[in-house]
């Protein structure tokens, strides 16, 4: 297997085939025997075993291998992006459907000042200014879920005047912080998961469970994204500071920085960095190379050889994981009382003139970063994706906003989208890491009226939006899009 290919689930697939017990195609439901000649859906017309195996091999290749990007921007150091004249901060977000704005139009705000409060059921999430300037009301832009969303607009005065809450803590002060103190700081500074979840870190940390192992998710398995690996190289001491803070809060003495086996240089960099710092409770943990290895259950399986049972969470096993950039943010909050006002972002893809890694101000418009990359390449229409090419969301225009959870902006030439009729090949089923039946979900969504009971029964809420079903689809169908819409239906009462 060439190094540039990542393998996912091929073994499981062949195991099924070798067992010869169950049809691997979409009609799982009928539970007919493998090679059954009386398949009610005529899905298995391949009586020739050799031909059949060949087809399976082709399907495995399509469904389980993701080519890594030969044109990755990882070799380029991250550069500070220009700080735009206007900054946009989401009022509501995917987790918090309600929010209050705590400033009036025309008010002066400082970097780090709390200017709003988002509300979810069960927790609040402050909105902190990421520059100083004048609050000038709300404006709609695209959020990373692809929806037009209200954003608070700050006219940047270019001074970056810090709010009085921003202050440095001494090492002694930090060493004396209790778990409750750390949780309060992370809440006040609105630190959230920077790997894409955007879930408040203080809520996650506020567990009553004993945590024996902390996993640092530095896997970054999605093609075109390399923001985390650059952050590790630039900010290693801060990352370690964040890890030690979480260990202190949880009274944990085992932390593992999880890096793909193929990233040998990065692993060596971290090992020598830890040696220099004399850290013995933090180690480097090589994990597998496939996508989605960064998905929490897959990470835990690889790092700890622990298979999570359905309905359980990592804390039930004494494990907690955070993205590596979240540890950087934790350290900035604890050491300087700073919010997440900037983040590493890879701007990449074939549709951009000069793919670049940026340290960008949170609240920057996508168009600004694209402009700093020399703009779009060529005359063809472009597709702009907020997030990585697998799990990101394409937006209609380039005015999506870089929020805390956006690690990548992917730009590609737009191709005419022609959805062919599903041939019931089962590739999407075989590629789904959470064992859903994306094709069945799609069919339930296509029924008129939508079969809500069927949709719920197929459990689309388990979907982690990895994009593998779309990637694997033989007929170019955006299967994940149907599953995402099914999630909305499944939430209806």
- Of 5-13, 70-78, 234-242, 431-439, the window that binds ligand SF4 (rule: CB under 6 A) is 431-439
- Tokens 């993205």 sit on residue: 323
Residue from the set 475, 485, 487, 489 that interacts with ligand SF4 by CB under 6 A: 475
- Our separate counts of H helices and E strands in the chain read 16, 19
- Of 178-186, 280-288, 392-400, 477-485, the window that binds ligand SF4 (rule: CB under 6 A) is 477-485
* Residue 233, CA distances (Å) to 115, 185, 236, 324 in order: 33, 26, 6, 12
Residue from the set 479, 481, 486, 490 that interacts with ligand SF4 by CB under 6 A: 479
Q: Do 256 and 213 meet the contact criterion of CB atoms below 8 Å apart?
A: yes
427 sits near ligand SF4 (criterion: CB under 6 A): yes
* Cβ nearer to ligand SF4, comparing 352 with 442: 442
Q: How far is the CB of 280 from ligand SF4 (least distance, A)?
A: 38
490 sits near ligand SF4 (criterion: CB under 6 A): no
How many Å apart are CA 155 and CA 135, to the nearest integer?
6
- Tokens 């590493």 sit on residue: 344
Residue from the set 239, 473, 486, 490 that interacts with ligand SF4 by CB under 6 A: 473
**Bridge partners, 124 (sequence order):** 119
* Cβ nearer to ligand SF4, comparing 26 with 90: 26
432 sits near ligand SF4 (criterion: CB under 6 A): yes
DSSP for 350-397, written as a single string: TTBSS-EEEEEETT-BHHHHHHHTTSB-SSS-EEEEEB-TTT-EEESS
Residue from the set 87, 89, 128, 425 that interacts with ligand SF4 by CB under 6 A: 425
Q: How far is the CB of 215 from ligand SF4 (least distance, A)?
A: 21
422 sits near ligand SF4 (criterion: CB under 6 A): yes
Among 425, 422, 489, 482, CA closest to 455: 489
Q: What's the helix, strand, coil split of the chain in %, to 5?
A: 35, 25, 45
Residue 86: Cβ-neighbour burial (10 angstroms; 0-12, 13-18, 19+): middle
Window 17-76: residues binding ligand SF4 (CB under 6 A): 26
472 sits near ligand SF4 (criterion: CB under 6 A): yes
Q: How far is the CB of 300 from ligand SF4 (least distance, A)?
A: 17
Q: How far is the CB of 39 from ligand SF4 (least distance, A)?
A: 14
Any residues with CB less than 8 A from the CB of 199 and at least 6 apart, and which? 95, 192, 193
- By the criterion CB under 6 A, which residues form the site for ligand SF4? 26, 422-428, 431-434, 436, 438-439, 463-469, 472-475, 477, 479-480, 483
């Amino acid at each position: 297997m060439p190094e540039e290919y990542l393998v996912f689930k091929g073994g499981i697939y062949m195991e099924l085939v070798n067992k010869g017990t169950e049809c691997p195609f979409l009609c799982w439901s009928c539970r007919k025997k493998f090679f059954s000649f009386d398949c009610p859906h005529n899905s298995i017309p391949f009586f020739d075993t050799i031909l059949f195996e060949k087809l399976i091999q082709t399907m495995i290749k399509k469904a389980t291998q993701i080519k890594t990007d030969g044109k990755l921007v990882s070799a380029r150091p991250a550069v500070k992006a220009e700080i735009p004249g206007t900054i946009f901060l989401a009022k509501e977000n995917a987790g918090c459907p309600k929010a209050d704005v705590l400033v009036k139009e025309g008010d002066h705000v400082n970097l780090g000042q709390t200017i709003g409060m988002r509300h979810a059921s069960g927790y609040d999430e402050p909105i902190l200014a990421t520059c100083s300037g004048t609050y000038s009301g709300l404006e709609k832009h695209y959020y990373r879920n692809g929806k037009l969303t209200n954003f608070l607009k700050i006219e940047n005065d270019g001074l970056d005047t810090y709010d009085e809450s921003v202050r440095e803590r001494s090492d002694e002060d930090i060493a004396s912080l209790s778990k409750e103190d750390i949780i309060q700081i992370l809440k006040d500074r609105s630190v959230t998961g920077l790997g894409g979840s955007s879930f408040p870190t203080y809520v996650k940390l506020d567990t009553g469970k004993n945590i024996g192992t902390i996993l640092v998710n530095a896997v970054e398995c999605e093609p075109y994204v390399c923001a985390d690996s650059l952050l590790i190289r630039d900010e290693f001491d801060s990352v370690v500071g964040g890890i030690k803070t979480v260990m202190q809060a949880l009274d944990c003495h085992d932390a593992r920085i999880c890096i793909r086996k193929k990233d040998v240089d990065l692993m060596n960099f971290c090992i020598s960095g830890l040696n220099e710092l004399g850290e013995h409770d933090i180690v480097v943990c090589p994990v597998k190379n496939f996508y989605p290895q960064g998905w929490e259950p897959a990470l835990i399986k690889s790092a700890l050889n622990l298979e999570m049972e359905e309905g359980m969470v990592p804390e039930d096993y004494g494990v907690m994981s955070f993205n590596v950039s979240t540890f950087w943010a934790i350290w900035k909050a604890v050491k300087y009382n700073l919010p997440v006002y900037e983040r590493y972002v890879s701007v990449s893809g074939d549709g951009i003139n000069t793919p670049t890694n940026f340290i960008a101000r949170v609240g920057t418009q996508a168009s600004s970063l694209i402009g700093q990359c020399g703009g779009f390449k060529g005359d063809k229409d472009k597709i702009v994706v907020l997030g990585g090419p697998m799990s990101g969301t394409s937006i209609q225009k380039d005015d999506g906003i870089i929020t805390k959870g956006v690690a990548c902006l992917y730009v590609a030439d737009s191709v005419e989208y022609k959805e062919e009729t599903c041939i019931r090949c089962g590739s999407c089923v075989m590629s789904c890491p959470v064992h859903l039946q994306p094709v069945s979900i799609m069919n339930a969504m296509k029924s008129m009226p939508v079969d809500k009971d069927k949709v719920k029964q197929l459990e689309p809420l388990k979907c982690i939006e990895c994009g593998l079903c779309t990637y694997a689809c033989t007929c170019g169908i955006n299967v994940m899009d149907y599953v995402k819409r099914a999630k909305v239906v499944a939430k209806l009462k």
